[in-house]
Structure 1
Amino acid sequence: MPGTYRTAHDTRSLRDTVRLNAARQGRVFRREDLRAWGLDATVVQAMVRKGHWRKMRYGVYVDTDDLRSSEGDASSMHALECAAAIKAMRLPAYVFGPSAALFHQLPVQNGLVHQPHLVRYPYRDIRVLNRSPNRPPSLPDVSVVSHELHPAQLTVWEGIPIVRRPLAAVSAACHARPDWAVGLLDAVLWDGSATRESLYEIIGEWPLLRGIGTVRRAAEVARPGAQTILETLSRVRLMRAGLEEPALQREFHDEDGLIGYADMFWESLGVIGEADGEMKYATRADIFNEKRREDRLRALGYIVVRWTWHEIMTDPRTVARRILAASQISRRRAG
């Protein structure tokens, strides 16, 4: 390609070629990438000046079309920021902690992801040998930890190197409040990407990671039966309010067959608990089917108690009292 791009067609062709190649590495690129793709790297300043490319970090660029497509989407924008941070580091690094949890669509509390979180190998002396005198010695607004990494713990997400779900959950839980830390571990137990044993193994491999004590305590109460973060927070807060630990996803049958699975079940109380999220009953048919399901459970002698996100987050003790009150009229109460 020519050293200058005088026509709109030349410029569009260059941009399309760069975007196609950059999509394989998180949509960002460096000058050396352009050379590797057989393109003229001397046009960077002109393309930036004309508003076609934007500098994300020192020596790292993105096409403005890709940048605009991410604006307004916090997750997409964060992915772009993580890709740029990794490119700026030059040596291999992987998305980690809350950033990795966000990419894996694990439950992340509001405000936890405010900067890229990365992990890299402990390069020791070679970091100095690879440092350019014209390049800042560290990346601003990026959290980076160093640790030995196993290939089995690593993967790629839309061209961006990232740790796998179990390590993402553990490393994100280090930054989370205790209840949310349990929710992160519950999530990977629920989808089968981890077991309690494998979680304890990961925790044991990262003894010096800041916040690992929170994760170790969370692992003690993490369970594979919580389908949503609301169910996790409900279980943890109700136990803190004095209730015994409930059974999760207990199935119930009557003479017509399977009724369904209960979010929580206190067998000794004869009470079924249901954490009702905003999206749980999206249609009138959902509401009708749930009412029919509850009628069948009551016919068996159980009492169903429901609560919302607001109720369990603001006043879990009142929810606990409602459950205990329901047990007084349950025909399936033990004893």
Structure 2
Amino acid sequence: MTLSDVPAAVRKKTVGTAGEWRAAGITPAQFRSLTRAGDLVRVRHGVYATRSAVESAAADPRQRHALRVAAARAAVGRQAIASHQSAAVLHGIDLLRDPGGDAVWLTRPPGQRCGRQLEGIHLYSARLPESHVTALSGVRVTTATRTVVDLARSLPFMEGVVAVDSALRLGKTTDFGMAGILRACAKWPGADRARRVAGFSSEDAGSVLESCARVVFAEAGLPAPVLQAAIATANAEFIGRVDFCWPAYQVIAEADGMAKYDNPRRAREQILRDTRLRDAGYKVVHFTWSELFDTRERVISRIRAAFAARSSY
């Protein structure tokens, strides 16, 4: 027996508990036959998905996570909505820490009994107006704006900035949209931190590394840099846009991903561009991911030294 042998109404279903599959019209004997044949695949304890759903999700990280979310919702109740890190994954919003594994984040209405804790499911309790909910990859999920506000409320400041910067950069949220949700959750836990994150964040931060660097610079007491500043020669010849610029000191800082060093052509281009920037009177400081997180004091010291060296030009 295969799924093609069951009623059409059943074939439309992709994920459900064993009880839900039987309630949809599959007899216990048919259910056992389908699981033995691999047409129904166990995706978590007591929850089964069709083979086609599992196979189609295998090549797409977002679809894989959507399948995990669907399975988790089947386990805890269909009123649960993908939120927080799960919603970020489904929206394509950057996170500082990769959720990895099979973990899923859900929000469900207050007052529902939690029952036993289910492995890999992080449950939140909150009211979600319909305006805060959308659908992606076949599952109900908090909107991008509600998602980043929830992340900014619940995560450390830097991680919140990474998520909000990413959503702004991708055009998935706006300052106006976040302000509306922040007003609605003014008394919720973490709301003050979320307001700080929203006020600090910028659509001009070009990557996760740049978002983290902005936080490190602020914590070190450096003046706020101009992001994605356009630099030109004295003859108004455009040189390029730089990650961070302090015009008053004529200092530039560049956040370097390792891809730049793995590509010889890009490395040569960077050297030539640095030469033009320095010829234009700028001091250029480069730093990598590991330097920012493992030796951040050295990065800050190099920038401060560049500030002090301004008078030498």
Q: Fold-level match, TM-score > 0.5?
A: yes
| 2:226 aligned partner | 247
Within 5 Å, give how 1:73-222 maps onto structure 2: 77-110=64-97, 112=99, 115-122=103-110, 137=115, 140-141=118-119, 142-207=121-186, 209-222=188-201
Deviations 1:2-37 (Å, cap 9, x if unpaired)?
Answer: xxx2xxxxx26359x899734xxxx4235656876x
Deviations 1:21-66 (Å, cap 9, x if unpaired)?
Answer: 34xxxx4235656876xx6454113322444423445763113564
Which sections of structure 2, spanning at least 5 residues, go unmatched? none
Aligned match for 1:301, one of 281, 287, 290: 281
Quick one: which amino acid aligns to residue 303 of structure 2?
A: I
Q: 1:14 to 1:175 in 2, by over 3 A?
A: farther
Q: Does the 8 Å CA contact 2:43/2:49 hold for their aligned counterparts?
A: yes
Q: Does the 8 Å CA contact 2:4/2:11 hold for their aligned counterparts?
A: no
Higher relative contact order (CA closer than 8 Å, sequence separation 6+): 1
Q: Does the 8 Å CA contact 1:270/1:332 hold for their aligned counterparts?
A: no
Tell me the distance in 2 between the aligned counterparts of 1:153 and 1:280. Answer: 39
Tell me the distance in 2 between the aligned counterparts of 1:331 and 1:286. Answer: 31
Shift in Å at residue 179 of structure 1?
A: 1.2
| 1:321 aligned partner | 301
Whether 2:212 is the aligned partner of 1:224: answer no
Q: Does the 8 Å CA contact 1:101/1:169 hold for their aligned counterparts?
A: yes
Deviations 1:224-248 (Å, cap 9, x if unpaired)?
Answer: 2211111011111122223111111
Shift in Å at residue 178 of structure 1?
A: 1.9
Quick one: which amino acid aligns to residue 106 of structure 1?
A: I
User: What SS does the corresponding residue of 1:29 show, helix, strand or coil?
Assistant: strand
Q: TM-score, normalised by structure 2?
A: 0.82
Within 5 Å, give how 1:47-66 maps onto structure 2: 47-56=34-43, 60-64=47-51, 66=53
Tell me the distance in 2 between the aligned counterparts of 1:288 and 1:153. Answer: 47
Shift in Å at residue 217 of structure 1?
A: 2.8
Tell me the distance in 1 between the aligned counterparts of 2:170 and 2:98. Answer: 25
Within 5 Å, give how 1:1-80 maps onto structure 2: 5=1, 11=2, 13-14=4-5, 21-22=12-13, 27-30=14-17, 32=20, 40-42=26-28, 43-56=30-43, 60-64=47-51, 66-67=53-54, 77-80=64-67
Deviations 1:203-262 (Å, cap 9, x if unpaired)?
Answer: 232345544443233223222221111101111112222311111111122347432211
Which sections of structure 1, spanning at least 5 residues, go unmatched? 6-10, 129-135
Quick one: which amino acid aligns to residue 108 of structure 2?
A: R
Shift in Å at residue 202 of structure 1?
A: 1.8
Q: How many aligned residue pairs are there?
A: 307
Q: 1:46 to 1:304 in 2, by over 3 A?
A: same
Q: 1:14 to 1:167 in 2, by over 3 A?
A: farther
Q: 1:75 to 1:158 in 2, by over 3 A?
A: closer
| 1:131 aligned partner | none
My pick for the range that moved more, 107-116 or 154-163, is 107-116
| 2:271 aligned partner | 291
Q: Does the 8 Å CA contact 1:276/1:306 hold for their aligned counterparts?
A: yes
Q: Does the 8 Å CA contact 2:22/2:31 hold for their aligned counterparts?
A: no
CA RMSD, Structure 1 to Structure 2 (Å): 3.4
Shift in Å at residue 95 of structure 1?
A: 0.6
